[in-house]
């Protein structure tokens, strides 16, 4: 039996290990790139439905969150709250709830947006939901 102290720390990976690690990393990068493009395209369609001239912002990280906060009529400083661990969970749920209500949907859509966003976002983006800017009061003040 070999313990950690008996292992040689200077032994690296062999070529098969390195090739496998590279293939796994490349596969994960491609998967996440496809997922990001799909997520951004769904946000793009949601931004268009909300009447945003800058729907292209859906493809720009950080700025798409600021635009989303504007659509759900929350102040921009909420973005800072989304960076705080555990606090961001609560505020993400609030944002998802307001987004579903602005599009005339009920609590089921909020649950889909929070728990299964890969189902909820396409339903909101490509479904028959219509944005109503007067559905909830403006909290940006």
Let me know if residue 131 belongs to a domain.
no
Tokens of 49: 């439905």
**CB-CB contact of 9 with 23 (8 Å):** no
Let me know if residue 64 belongs to a domain.
yes
Distance (Å, whole) CA 22 – CA 15: 10
Distance (Å, whole) CA 134 – CA 121: 21
Let me know if residue 19 belongs to a domain.
yes
Does the global pTM surpass 0.75?
Answer: yes
**CB-CB contact of 113 with 96 (8 Å):** yes
Let me know if residue 135 belongs to a domain.
no
What secondary structure, in 3-state letters, does 47-63 show? Answer: HHHCCCCCHHHHHCCCH
pLDDT, tens digit only, all 141 positions of the chain: 566 666 665 666 677 778 888 999 999 999 999 999 999 999 999 999 999 999 999 999 999 999 999 999 999 999 999 999 999 999 999 999 999 999 999 999 999 999 999 999 999 999 999 999 998 888 877
Q: Which domain holds residue 34?
A: 15-126
The domain total for the chain is: 1
Let me know if residue 49 belongs to a domain.
yes
Let me know if residue 39 belongs to a domain.
yes
């Amino acid at each position: 039996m070999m313990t950690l102290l008996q292992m040689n720390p200077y032994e690296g990976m062999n070529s098969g290990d390195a090739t496998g690690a590279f293939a796994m990393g490349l596969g994960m990068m491609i998967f996440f790139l496809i997922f990001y493009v799909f997520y951004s395209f769904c946000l793009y369609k949601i931004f268009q439905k909300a009447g945003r001239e800058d729907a292209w912002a859906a493809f720009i990280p950080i700025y798409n969150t600021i635009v989303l906060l504007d659509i759900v009529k929350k102040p921009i400083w909420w973005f800072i709250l989304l960076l705080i661990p555990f606090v961001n969970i609560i505020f993400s749920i609030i944002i998802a709830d307001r987004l579903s209500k602005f599009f005339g949907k009920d609590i089921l859509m909020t649950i889909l947006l929070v728990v299964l966003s890969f189902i909820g976002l396409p339903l909101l983006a490509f479904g028959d939901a219509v944005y109503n800017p007067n559905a909830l009061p403006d909290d940006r003040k």
